Amino acid sequence: MVARSDLTRDPQLLEALLQARRGSAFFARKLNELTDADFDGASLLPGWTRRHVTAHIGYNARAIARLIEWAATGVETPMYPSPEARDHEIEFGATLSPIALRNLFGHSAVHLNVEWRDLPADAWQHKVKTAQGRTVPAEETVWMRTREVWIHAVDLDNGATFADIPEPVLARLLTDITAAWHTRGTDTGLLIKTTGQPAMTFGDTSTETPVIITGPLAAITRWAAGRGTNGVRAERGAAAGVTAAGAAAPTSDAVLTEVPAAPKWI
Ligand code: ZN
């Protein structure tokens, strides 16, 4: 079936799809701002050039499209045959010419969009498996793609920042990351508070004198995603003293000169 617009009528899902499409458009814009020679430049990811990032985003769209085909047909088609195959594909993709990389991104994004658009309403609840082995409803793929395009647009390192990422995306990202820490128990002694609006608290609320990480949502999320400490401050303090959202600046004697690295996320 070929539809002109999304077959789902679920308002929440339509909103999520909008966020993913905006992210993809944003990534496309940053990619367009790069000259062909710029593709050889370093990205924010250790060991990866912009070529790797672009190839990864292209192959990620194809991999997610495979999950949508799975949801539509019931025939199991994993994102990648194996983690090694995924890495290999990226390494290969990074050797493509800039024009081929631009086409890979453009075509794969359009294809994924069509797969989403034409997925029947009930199939969005069909179960598929992520590359990490999690079983999720097909609708989860929208978020999986959303965070990829927004974060890796920043990783292209040609001007995009976490402040460009819409607030609902940042909030969900920070929620995801801190939940992953919690599951692994790597957030012990770490309390995370966003200043300003929206004021949110994450991490270890049970320790008496945690290391408290504060900053605006965009800066905190950037730090949590392992991409720098600008705009973030760390202090050792009493958890009880900072429970008020967006509380006054911490006392200077408790401020740590160095913001600790965030626990690993993925
Ligand atoms: Zn990625």
Sign of CA dihedral 103, 138, 143, 87: negative
Q: What is the pTM of this model?
A: 0.90
What's the 250 CA to ligand 1 centre distance in angstroms? Answer: 35
pLDDT of 239:
54
Helix axes 217-224, 167-184, angle to 10 degrees: 40
pLDDT of 245:
46
- Domain span(s) for CATH 3.30.1050.20 in the chain: 168-255
Measured distance CA(158)–CA(156) in Å, rounded:
6
Span of 13-27, 108-122, 223-237, 252-266 with lowest mean pLDDT: 252-266
CATH 3.30.1050.20 corresponds to the domain 168-255: yes
What's the 148 CA to ligand 1 centre distance in angstroms? Answer: 5
pLDDT of 1:
57
Backbone angles phi, psi at 248, to 5 degrees: -60, 160
Per-residue CA distances from 233 to 141, 162, 175, 189 (Å): 34, 17, 19, 15
Residue 240, pLDDT above cutoff 50: no
* Three-class SS state of 42: strand
Q: What is the pLDDT of residues 14-47, one digit of tens each?
A: 999 999 999 999 999 999 999 999 999 999 999 9
What's the 57 CA to ligand 1 centre distance in angstroms? Answer: 7
* Residue 2 banded pLDDT, cuts 50, 70, 90: low
Measured distance CA(181)–CA(189) in Å, rounded:
12
What's the 61 CA to ligand 1 centre distance in angstroms? Answer: 11
- Domain span(s) for CATH 1.20.120.450 in the chain: 11-160
Q: CA angle, 108 as apex, 82 and 13 as ends, to 5°?
A: 90
Measured distance CA(122)–CA(140) in Å, rounded:
14
Residue 3, pLDDT above cutoff 90: no
β-pairing verdict for 190-195 and 211-216: parallel
What's the 141 CA to ligand 1 centre distance in angstroms? Answer: 13
Residue 243, pLDDT above cutoff 70: no
What's the 41 CA to ligand 1 centre distance in angstroms? Answer: 18
What's the 207 CA to ligand 1 centre distance in angstroms? Answer: 33
> Beta strands of the chain (E only): which ranges?
127-129, 135-137, 190-195, 201-203, 211-216, 233-236
What's the 153 CA to ligand 1 centre distance in angstroms? Answer: 10
pLDDT of 71:
98
| Region 50-79 average pLDDT | 97
CATH of 11-160, one of 1.20.120.450, 3.40.630.40, 3.30.70.330, 3.40.50.720: 1.20.120.450
Q: What is the pLDDT of residues 206-216, one digit of tens each?
A: 888 899 999 99
Q: What is the pLDDT of residues 134-184, one digit of tens each?
A: 999 999 999 999 999 999 999 999 999 999 999 999 999 999 999 999 999
* Residue 244 banded pLDDT, cuts 50, 70, 90: very low
Per-residue CA distances from 129 to 114, 147, 176, 180 (Å): 20, 17, 18, 18
Measured distance CA(119)–CA(115) in Å, rounded:
6
What's the 92 CA to ligand 1 centre distance in angstroms? Answer: 16
Q: What is the pLDDT of residues 97-125, one digit of tens each?
A: 999 999 999 999 999 999 999 999 999 99
What's the 257 CA to ligand 1 centre distance in angstroms? Answer: 31
